[in-house]
Structures are given as structure tokens and as C-alpha cells.
Amino acid sequence: MKSVLITGCSSGLGLTTAVTLAKNGFRVFATVRRLDKRDDLDKALADAGTTATVLPLDVTDEAAISATVAQILAETGGIDALVNNAGLAIGGFVEDFTLAEIRAQMETNFFGLVALTKAVLPSMRQRRSGRIVNISSIGGRVGNPIIAPYVASKFAVEGFSESLSFEAELFGVQVVLIEPGAYKTDIFEKNRRIAAHALDPSSPYAAIMSKVEARVNERVAKHAGDPQVVADCVLHALTVEKPRLRYLVSTNAKVMANVHRFLGFGVYAALVRKVFRWPELAAEVR
């Protein structure tokens, strides 16, 4: 059985991916930030008639990362695949973010991913085999309002992964980026946060923030897809003989990426402004 370490498995894409890989013959080590948040994962595994080893792991804790990887290596002799999925999303206008909030976004979405990658790479390099799947986002390709730090973290993941792919291939290790659009997961519900000052009456954006947030929720509800599609893409990336570097997942992600790439930023920006009714909001803040 090939062993796979997956982060952020208490809900959403991580949970669905853990169950999918376990059902398909992988020895899954599913990590959650807190063990008291594992109930949904345990139930999903039981319902699917499969099992996984559930471990606590905060991806912002370097000591915990080292200990967890060492434990898995001791049990298995080698980690065949790493799925960096743990993430959070913080919404708000840039002025309303504290630097601490932006750093927290980067610590989880980017530096945690880097730390885990560095922790598993030595064993993969020595065995000259392994796959690292990084869950990015359409936000790693294009910008959108009120999620600038999240987008920045995913742009960082994209650049890091593309650069790493050249280095890793020298030792038979393959790097893959999965770029979902909006999916029905807790990152847009329980795990989505709002910048501390976003709704503060003193904020110049307070009056329009609630309206923008409502439109985001409306878009997510209307266009969000089934996270199983993303999990199936991860399964494909781990089992196909020669995976691609990038996999765009979902129709909305492909449309956004293609408009941005082939029609240019001007056309893409016009569509974003239309979707968010930007002219109306601009009139309110003048």
C-alpha cells in the first residue's frame, strides 16, 4: 500500500480526499489541527467502509511537523505522497487587515506547505520516488476583491511549486498543483474569517463590506461544486503515470483562467466588476 500524508482533513476537500484515497488502496495518514475536530472525518471513513490513521498536526508548528513526519516514516519506511491541503481564507479590504492577520494567512497557506514539503523531501529524494500535491486555487492564477491576502498566499504556492518541480524531478519526485474554483467546503463557511476591522464603523469600507460579503456568499452558493471532483483529481494525480504540473478543476475556474489568459486583464476585470456590481459600490464610497 502506498502511504500518503494529507493535511487539513477535519472537513471539506481534505476530508473527502482522505476518504477517497483510503477507498482506493492508499495507506492514509490524515491530519487535523485538533483531534476534537475529527468526528466528521471518522464518520465519513466509517460510512465509506474504510480506515485511515488520524493524527493531530498544526501546519504552523515546525516541531509538530518534524515529529509527525518522523512518526510516519518510522511506521512505513517512506512517504509515497504528500497532499498539502490545509488552508484558511480571510476576507476584507486590504486596509482593514492587520499585518498579523495577513501573516496568519501566509503561515497556514504557504509557510506550512513549505515546511511540510521540506520535511518529506529528504526521504523521497533518497528513495528517488514520490509525489507532492499542493492544493492551490483559481486564486493562484487570478485576483479577486476582498481576498487579497488569500490570493497572495496561493500565488506564492504556485510560484514555489513550479520552481520546486524542476529541482524535485532530478530525484524522481513529481510536483502537482490542483487549482479548484469555488467548492462547498468549510473554508467558505466555518473556516472563512473576516478581517478584524472589516465591519468596524470607523472603517471606510464598513458600509459596503456586508454587501460585498453577501454577493460572495451568493456566488459561492450558486456556483460551488462537489468537493468529490477535486478529490478525484487528486487520486488521478497520484495514480497516473505522468501527471501534469497543473490541473484546473471546475468549469468556473477554467472560464476565469481562460478569460484572464486569452482575453486579457481588461476583459477579466470588466467581468469581475460586473459580478460584484463595482460601479454601484464605487458610487456609495464617493
Q: Is 205 a catalytic residue?
A: no
What is the C-alpha to C-alpha distance for residues 125 and 134, in angstroms, rounded to an integer?
Answer: 18
Beta bridge partners of 179: 248
Task: Provide the 8-state DSSP code for 266.
Answer: H
Residue 95's alpha-carbon distances to 71, 92, 147, 148, 161, in angstroms, are 42, 8, 12, 11, 29
Considering Cα of 215, then 216, then 220, then 221, what sign does the dihedral take? Answer: negative
Assigned C-alpha cell, 178 = 490542483
Delimit the domains of the chain by residue range.
3-251
Model confidence, pTM: 0.93
Assigned C-alpha cell, 165 = 518541480
* φ and ψ at residue 231, rounded to 5 degrees: -60, -40
Assigned C-alpha cell, 226 = 462537489
Question: 4 near 29, Cβ under 8 Å?
Answer: yes
Could you give the 3-state DSSP secondary structure of residue 15?
helix
What residue spans of 48-111 are helical by DSSP H? Answer: 62-76, 99-106
Residue 38's alpha-carbon distances to 17, 31, 63, 68, 189, in angstroms, are 14, 9, 21, 17, 17
Q: Give pLDDT tens digits along the chain (286 positions).
A: 899 999 999 999 999 999 999 999 999 999 999 999 999 999 999 999 999 999 999 999 999 999 999 999 999 999 999 999 999 999 999 999 999 999 999 999 999 999 999 999 999 999 999 999 999 999 999 999 999 999 999 999 999 999 999 999 999 999 999 999 976 544 445 545 889 888 888 898 988 888 888 777 777 777 677 899 999 999 999 999 999 999 999 888 999 999 999 999 999 999 999 988 888 888 777 6
What is the Rg, in whole angstroms, of the alpha carbon atoms belonging to the chain? Answer: 19
**Catalytic residue of the set 150, 183, 205, 268:** 150
Assigned C-alpha cell, 70 = 518522523
What is the C-alpha to C-alpha distance for residues 175 and 121, in angstroms, rounded to an integer?
Answer: 11
The domain defined by 3-251 carries CATH number 3.30.870.10: no
